[in-house]
Amino acid sequence: MKFKLDENLPASSAAILAGAGQLSGATDPEVVAADTAAGRVLISLDVGLGDIRAYPPGRHAGIVVLRLTDQSATAVSEAVSDLAALTNADGLAGAVSVLQHGLLRIRHP
């Protein structure tokens, strides 16, 4: 499973996920569509991407929303590391997931 970091995450987090690409200046639907075409799970701080009415599970490659009170580069990098430790990446395919305080909630298709 490949991942893509949304442009709202610090660049330092990209080192955790080798090969993460960017789609600069695009709208949320455009980013989700591009990631789906590329087969990449999108990781974002944008809570709007966690709306299953707008982004139903199974209609995209997968979305992970990081709900962090501290959105510093260090906190985001720690959350991405936690995400990698909490789940098998294949379990995120097509799902809408929210990582908050070490708890990962996954809505599967």
Over the stretch 68-99, which tens digit does the pLDDT of each residue have? 999 998 998 899 888 888 767 788 999 999 99
Query: How much is the average pLDDT of 33-55?
Result: 92
DSSP state at residue 80? H
Look at residues 25, 68, 12, 15 and name the one whose alpha carbon lies nearest to residue 44. 68
Contact call for residues 60 and 44 (beta carbons, < 8 A): no
Name the band, by pLDDT with cuts 50, 70 and 90, for residue 23: very low
Whole-model pTM: value is 0.79
Residue 13 has pLDDT above 80, yes or no: no
Q: Tokens in use for 63?
A: 């979305």
